Amino acid sequence: MRIFGKGRNRPSASWRQATDRAFTLIGDGRYEDAGALLTRAADLEPWLSESWFNLALLHKFRHDWEQARAAGLRAVALLDRDTGAPDWWNVGIAATALQDWPLARRAWQAYGLRVPGSPTGSGEPLGMDLGSAAVRLSPEGEAEVVWGRRLDPARIEVLSIPLPSSGRRWGEVVLHDGVPHGERSTAAGHTYPVFDEIELWAPSPVPTWVVLLEAAGEADRDALEQLAADAGFAAEDWSSSVRLLCRMCSESRMPSDEGEGEHLDPHDHSEPGHPGPLGHRTDGQLWVPERECGLAAPASLVRGLLDGWVADSPDSRDWRDLEEVC
């Protein structure tokens, strides 16, 4: 994060000392003290784009988006290259947080990304076709990695059903940082970045429920997930989709397969034999009928979905203990 000028006008020793000390304080969470030092550095070297980039970075950490935008614009005004500078990416994040769509478009284009629509368009920069990615919710707390759809370079729509401990819901849009921390790979060989959430950008009105299912086989479980999807909502078998990982494992490249049956993932730190967050492994059994399932659906619909699922195959399906958890 510490960036020093390489041009003919190198920053002074005082600038370097203030900047070094500031980032040490940022690492300790002492943002106010760091801000005073970075402001002093900008006063010492106001011609240096890095002075303003560092201030913009600090304001991003503090979620002070007005200040982040202002400092970021001063940084890009002093750049000596046209495209690809991380200064523009920080401007894009701040502009997205503030819903300053003309500036967000300008930032992504200046970074070198193609943004559909008119260059002067005032609407959201939609249709960038960035595909799927994973996002780490609450990265400084009880972090959880979930899957989502990238709306633009700074926002992901959450398509997994997060655990209630995250405080997040299916369908929410979160603002995320630009540098991935970790990857998730699929059995098909595709690799997806894991971005860290910065903050909630748009909440979801759809509550999260937890329910215990009796599903005789995987096809029964899959039927509920399909039934919820057909209704425009979601169901997720937490007994197979959830793994407990240490931070080192979470921020590395991890396979995203569910690991049912006898497969033992050496990075999985959960305990076998329990539905829910601790149930990724199953003591060698091919299938455990009792499943802890997350549901994202309105209160007016959730029981009807479950009853309809049972009615389609009453001999192999049942449910109990439905509870709203987020």
Could you report the per-residue pLDDT of 199-210, keeping only the tens digit for each?
Answer: 999 999 999 999
Q: Pick the closest to residue 51 from 43, 61, 59, 62 (CA basis).
A: 43
For the whole model, what pTM was predicted?
0.82
What whole-number percentage of the chain has pLDDT above 90? 67
Mean pLDDT of 119-138: 83
> Can you give the pLDDT at residue 11?
86
Of residues 190 and 78, the one with the higher pLDDT is 78
Q: Is the pLDDT of residue 50 over 60?
A: yes
Nearest to 194 by CA among 157, 148, 236, 152: 148
pLDDT at 255 (0 to 100): 59
Least confident segment among 1-5, 41-45, 50-54, 311-315 = 1-5
DSSP character at residue 96: H
C-alpha to C-alpha distances, 316 to 209, 215, 284, 290, 305, nearest whole angstrom: 22, 6, 22, 11, 16
Banded model confidence at residue 236, pLDDT cuts 50, 70, 90: very high
In 105-237, beta strands by DSSP E: 132-137, 144-152, 155-158, 173-176, 183-185, 191-202, 208-215, 234-237
User: Residue 13 pLDDT > 60, yes or no?
Assistant: yes
Name the more confident of 222 and 2: 222
pLDDT in tens, 130-167: 998 999 998 887 789 999 999 999 999 999 999 998 89
What is the side-by-side strand order in the sheet with 317-324?
234-237, 290-296, 208-215, 317-324
Is the Cα dihedral 200, 205, 210, 216 positive or negative? negative
Residue 8 has pLDDT above 90, yes or no: no
Give the residue-averaged pLDDT of 87-96: 97
Confidence at residue 174, expressed as pLDDT on a 0 to 100 scale: 97
> What's the confidence (pLDDT) of residue 261?
40
Residues 6+ apart with CB under 8 A from 77: 49
Q: Are the CB atoms for 175 and 155 separated by under 8 Å?
A: yes
Average pLDDT in the chain: 85
pLDDT of residue 64: 97
Distance (Å, whole) CA 41 – CA 59: 15
Sign of CA dihedral 177, 182, 187, 190: positive
